[in-house]
Structure 1
Amino acid sequence: MLYKGIGLFTILIIIASGFTPAFALTELERASIVDPRLVNAFGSPIGNLINVDQQVQISADVINNQEKSQIFAYLVQIKNENDIVVYFGWFLGELNPHQKLNPSLSWSPKEPGEFTAEIFLWEGFPVNHKALTEYTTLKINVS
């Protein structure tokens, strides 16, 4: 009787070890994008109201939520009021485990209006890319 219990217990351990633990990261939790913002050349926040031809940096904090290093592409796409892309740029880098970095890309608007910056964090750019996290947006008003 005791032998059957040990055998069943062993089988349960083997089956249980085949499941993904509850604390495992999903595909889109491998990294985070937080605090999207416009900054000047020195990294100081400048708010979301800027002028035509004013050079700004589109910045955000990116965080590697993994126990391993992660190569990444920080991509910024800016769309105008008509949902037309007026700017696209990227920055390639590598994050160490749990590292926080704040990359930024430069942009100078050429016309007034309301714009939306979409910020992505991918691996495998430019081919076979996969998102490391959900993208985030930043509203920009240009006068």
Structure 2
Amino acid sequence: MKIIAPSWNSDRHLIDSIGDIEDNPIKISTRENSLEHYRFTETDVNSGIFTAEIILTGFSHDADGDGEFDTTPRTMGSGPTNGFLQIDRDSAVTISFEFADGVVLTNSVPVNWNLGTVQFTEDLFLSSDTIIIRVFDLDMNLNPEAIDSIPLHVFSDSNVAGITVDALETNESSSSFVATVSLSHTLPSSGNRLYSLPGDEIFAKYDDHTLPKPYSISDNLEIETSAKIDSSVRPIERLQTSPVVFSDSFGSPIQSFSSNSQLQIVGTVTNDQVFTQKFVYLFQVKDDSNSVESISWIQGELSSNQSLDVSQSWTPKKSGTYHIETFVWDSLNIPVAVSPSVSTQIAVK
């Protein structure tokens, strides 16, 4: 708080004070509480500018939802920096200074709760990255002379239980909070480590228990954000496939093909990565006019260094040349190739 009052610079060689005498008091008040005769001191000799500060202590309230009050309401202090003032939500702080006989200067500032925000520093992270989460919530600067914290729930598609980490205030009164999380596709979630696979979406959220109107004091709101996780390995290199082979219904290899005879198209997919990879293996059969005769797929998941044979049955209805194409994607919803496509040509008699 600052009062510019050159006429109260009574001694040009000393740091003067105002407000703490009976005749010309300074009062700092809310609708419910007040500090009387609060002392302001000059910023420098002969400046005529007087300053002071107080800490607003709020009212008894559970600000983080853990079932315990996080505030210590109190009104005390005489100035210029030792004041504490209890205040309710949607109130105001008013300073009044009896500048001269019958002349009172006043100024007020409203005090409100605010809606917090949470966000990842990037929309897309690689699995080797350190995840940084930022929270900005003016109301959670509970003590402007200490580092405050906010508990965050961080989870992924592959680990919905997730972890709880503390977002720490960047300095004593910044109201800006930061949490860091590492990712692992081999180790379970623990501490600040989150189990997540490439292709996952990750989420961070917290409950805001200090909401502005029209919310009530007892309301809370879930504040959430998300980002995507990708592997540092290029998508097209994540799985290995080989040309398809053909067998009869008993699994015996066949080299010649006849119309109206059922055969098995067999493909092999291998995961050489150190992480588990989801996949959709798609078979497509085209005739010599490039018309699709058959399309089918198998969906699954490969652990690290696992290899799997996948097969689909197909019965050619007529003789001719057919092109067997295989595609390996990470999903059907947003198909991203995780292995090069493979094409094989056969002749059916």
TM-score by length of 2: 0.33
Partner AA of 2:322 in structure 1: F
Report SS of the residue matched to 1:134.
strand
Measured in 2, the distance between the counterparts of 1:85 and 1:115 equals 10
Measured on the aligned residues, the alpha-carbon RMSD in Å equals: 1.7
Paired residue type of 1:136: V
In structure 2, the residue matched to 1:63 is 270
Give the CA deviation at 1:91. Answer: 0.8
- Are the counterparts in 2 of residues 75 and 121 from structure 1 also a CA contact under 8 Å? yes
| 2:343 maps to 1:137 | yes
Mapped to 2, the partners of 1:43 and 1:110 lie a distance apart of: 21
Distance in 2 (CA, whole Å) between partners of 1:35 and 1:83 is 20
**Could you say which residue in structure 2 is the equivalent of 1:28?**
236
Q: Rate the CA distance shift 1:96–1:42 in 2: closer, same or farther, 3 A.
A: farther
Please state if 1:37 is matched with 2:245. Answer: yes
Which residue type is aligned with residue 52 of structure 1? Answer: S
How far is the alpha carbon of 1:111 from its aligned partner?
A: 0.8
* TM-score (normalizing by structure 1): 0.78
Please point out which of 292, 295, 305 is paired with 1:85.
Answer: 292
What SS is found at the alignment partner of 1:105?
strand
Q: Return the alpha-carbon distance in structure 2 between the equivalents of residues 25 and 45 of structure 1.
A: 35
Higher alpha-carbon deviation: 52-61 or 35-44: 35-44
Stretch deviating more after TM superposition (65-74 or 107-116): 65-74
In 1, Cα distance between the equivalents of 2:313 and 2:329? Answer: 19
Rg larger for: 2
Residue 111 (structure 1) aligns with: 318
Q: Secondary structure at the match of 1:102?
A: strand
Bigger relative CO (Cα 8 Å, ≥ 6 apart): 1
- Which segment is superposed worse, 58-67 or 36-45? 36-45
The question of 1:76 aligning with 2:280 is answered no
Unaligned 5+ segments in structure 1 are: 1-17, 19-23
CA contact (8 A) 2:243 2:343 kept: no
Contact 1:78 1:117 in 2 (8 A): yes
- CA distance in structure 2 between the partners assigned to 1:77 and 1:61 by the alignment: 15
For structure 2, the 5+ residue unaligned runs are: 1-128, 130-231
What residue is the counterpart of 1:6 in the other structure?
none
Paired residue type of 2:247: V
Q: Deviations over 1:16-67 (max 9, x none)?
A: xx9xxxxx632211001114111122322212x2011111111111101211
How many residue pairs are counted as aligned between the two chains?
A: 120
CA contact (8 A) 2:243 2:344 kept: no
State whether residues 37 and 138 of structure 1, in contact with CA within 8 Å, keep that contact through their aligned partners in structure 2. no
2:305 pairs with one of 89, 92, 98: 98
Rounded to whole Å, the distance in 2 between the matches of 1:141 and 1:94 is 33
Mapped to 1, the partners of 2:249 and 2:301 lie a distance apart of 22
Q: 2:281 and 2:288 mapped to 1: Cα distance?
A: 23
Which protein has the bigger helix share? 1
Q: Which amino acid aligns with 1:88?
A: I
Q: Does structure 2 conserve the Cα–Cα contact (< 8 Å) formed by 1:29 and 1:65?
A: no
Runs of 4+ in 1 over 6 A off after TM superposition: none
Percent of residue pairs bearing the same amino acid type: 32
Question: In 2, Cα distance between the equivalents of 1:122 and 1:90?
Answer: 10
Judging changes above 3 Å, is the alpha-carbon distance between structure 1 residues 32 and 123 closer, same or farther for their aligned structure 2 residues? Answer: same
